[in-house]
Amino acid sequence: MTATHITLQPRPRDASVDHSIQAIVTGTGPGETCNTDLAAGPWDFDARPGYGPGSSMGDVIPTGAPRQGELPVEYREASEAELAERVRAAKATLGDRVVVLGHFYQREEVVLHADYVGDSFQLANAALEHPDAEAIVFCGVHFMAETADLLSRPEQAVILPNLAAGCSMADMASIDEVEECWEQLAEVYGDLDTPDADGLVPVIPVTYMNSSAAIKGFVGRHGGIVCTSSNARTVLEWAFARGRRVLFFPDQHLGRNTAKAMGVPLEQMPMWNPRKSLGGSNEETLADARVILWHGFCSVHRRFTVDQIDKARAEHPGVRVIVHPECPMDVVDAADDAGSTDYIRKAIAAATEPTTFAIGTEINLVQRLAAEHPQHQIFCLDPVVCPCSTMYRIHPGYLAWVLEALVAGDVLNRITVPDDVAGPARLALERMLAAKP
């Protein structure tokens, strides 16, 4: 597998979403935030039942989701400058023994210390460039650390600085719900492993990268494949070459937007609600289905609306609107363009003339892009400052804590995928890498 090279951008002047939130909360800066609790440390809300303040605060956190123990007080009470210095010192001591990965949606105070910045799959691959590193500190969310563990060497420890950093979308498809769905589909379609006269099986399961390793393992065991927001179309073509239809999870919007662009009619894309019998559908609809969409979504990208796009166009004539395909279909249809985080970055970098961009994705990335490209006017479609609350749980205090523990010889918060899950999950990832447009 070839590792992805990610060029680190020069540091923007002040792309800190946290500084914006602190200014809003103290009344010293403009704007509005979705929750003033965001100005506090994540440890203040980690013990509460929901995902905390931010875009996924309304989602239900599953029972049994990992919870983070209390961060030692020395990290909770340290200033931003002190934490930055402690992280720098620990990294300098560890040298090549550690690699720090930062997702595009991480806060600036964390990205500052990342050796690589990228999307989840780019980062998992970036870790491969450091086969000798003893530890990979993944500043992202749980499923990303699992994917890095799948792709790294067994001796390498993948560390998630805050165990409570899950992903509300990934958590919307549990392995039990997906197994139950598969059993019900077998009752409708018959043997799901036997191809028909055309060599097609009844259903191919396709999971978005934003899913647990258990779900990737399920897909691997059942002839299915993983996709990213960059390659979803190629992966669906792969699946349609092998099956009558696709079961797509957990993100309904990525599935719908991709299949619609491929010409699949909406009436052949029923929704599967795991809390209802036959997913809330019926045998006739399922028989005619081409893509069965799981009832999952990203609470960050669900915030974007057509009204926001209309307002941006009215206030900024000539604005170019680019949104992420996790946004609802009407938003993608109303935008000028839709694509992955990497696609959005490249589209902005490719603009040779000063341009106004309205972007529909997570605020940390948008604010950083705006600081990196001062020749353009770049703003988030959502006027409310509302970062992804699960990403937001990686505070620099947690990063300093796990790095200083490594210096002391302790591996904290290691994420390990069990062998019986890892084998089929890797198979599903390898199918994706082998799928060609």
Query: Is 262 in contact with 216 (CB distance < 8 Å)?
Result: no
Q: Closest separation between CB of residue 1 and ligand SF4, Å?
A: 23
Peptide bond into 49 cis (omega under 30): no
Site string for ligand SF4, 182-211 (x = CB under 6 A): ----------------------------x-
Given phi > 0 = left and psi -120 to 50 = alpha, else beta, which region is 223?
A: left
From 15, 286, 344, 388, residue interacting with ligand SF4 (rule: CB under 6 A): 388
* Candidate ranges 163-171, 236-244, 288-296, 310-318; the one touching ligand SF4 (CB under 6 A): 163-171
Q: Closest separation between CB of residue 165 and ligand SF4, Å?
A: 8
* Candidate ranges 61-69, 125-133, 165-173, 333-341; the one touching ligand SF4 (CB under 6 A): 165-173
Residue nearer to ligand SF4 on the CB measure, 181 or 300? 300
Strand order in the sheet with 320-323: 337-338, 320-323, 356-360, 377-380
* Candidate ranges 92-100, 272-280, 313-321, 388-396; the one touching ligand SF4 (CB under 6 A): 388-396
Q: Which of residues 128-157 bind ligand SF4 (CB under 6 A)?
A: 141
Q: Closest separation between CB of residue 208 and ligand SF4, Å?
A: 9
Residue nearer to ligand SF4 on the CB measure, 178 or 391? 391
Residue nearer to ligand SF4 on the CB measure, 229 or 413? 229
Based on the shown chain and the rule CB under 6 A, indicate whether residue 299 belongs to the binding site for ligand SF4: yes
From 158, 169, 192, 332, residue interacting with ligand SF4 (rule: CB under 6 A): 169
Based on the shown chain and the rule CB under 6 A, indicate whether residue 56 belongs to the binding site for ligand SF4: yes
311-315: long-range pairs with CB below 8 Å, 24+: 312/358, 312/379, 312/381
Residue type, 377: Q
CA distances from 279 to 219, 293, 297 (A): 19, 10, 16
Based on the shown chain and the rule CB under 6 A, indicate whether residue 391 belongs to the binding site for ligand SF4: yes
Q: Count CB neighbours of 154 within 10 A.
A: 9
Q: Closest separation between CB of residue 268 and ligand SF4, Å?
A: 26
Residue nearer to ligand SF4 on the CB measure, 156 or 340? 340
Q: Closest separation between CB of residue 200 and ligand SF4, Å?
A: 31
* Candidate ranges 292-300, 376-384, 395-403, 412-420; the one touching ligand SF4 (CB under 6 A): 292-300
From 117, 181, 300, 335, residue interacting with ligand SF4 (rule: CB under 6 A): 300
Give the span between the Cα atoms of 50 and 389, in whole angstroms.
10
Residue type, 88: R
Site string for ligand SF4, 346-375 (x = CB under 6 A): ----------------x-------------
Task: For CA atoms 296, 298, 250, 343, give the dihedral sign.
Answer: positive
Q: Which residues make Cβ contacts (< 8 Å) with residue 42, sequence separation at least 6?
A: 52, 162, 164, 392, 393, 395, 398
Q: Closest separation between CB of residue 352 and ligand SF4, Å?
A: 30
Residue nearer to ligand SF4 on the CB measure, 203 or 209? 209
* Candidate ranges 17-25, 161-169, 224-232, 259-267; the one touching ligand SF4 (CB under 6 A): 161-169
* Candidate ranges 30-38, 273-281, 386-394, 422-430; the one touching ligand SF4 (CB under 6 A): 386-394
Based on the shown chain and the rule CB under 6 A, indicate whether residue 212 belongs to the binding site for ligand SF4: no
Site string for ligand SF4, 102-121 (x = CB under 6 A): ---x----------------
Q: Closest separation between CB of residue 353 and ligand SF4, Å?
A: 30
Residue nearer to ligand SF4 on the CB measure, 56 or 207? 56
Q: How many residues bind ligand SF4 (CB under 6 A)?
A: 14
CA distances from 244 to 20, 60, 261, 281 (A): 49, 33, 18, 18
Give the span between the Cα atoms of 141 and 165, in whole angstroms.
5
Sites of contact with ligand SF4 (CB under 6 A)? 56, 105, 141, 167-169, 210, 298-300, 362, 388, 390-391
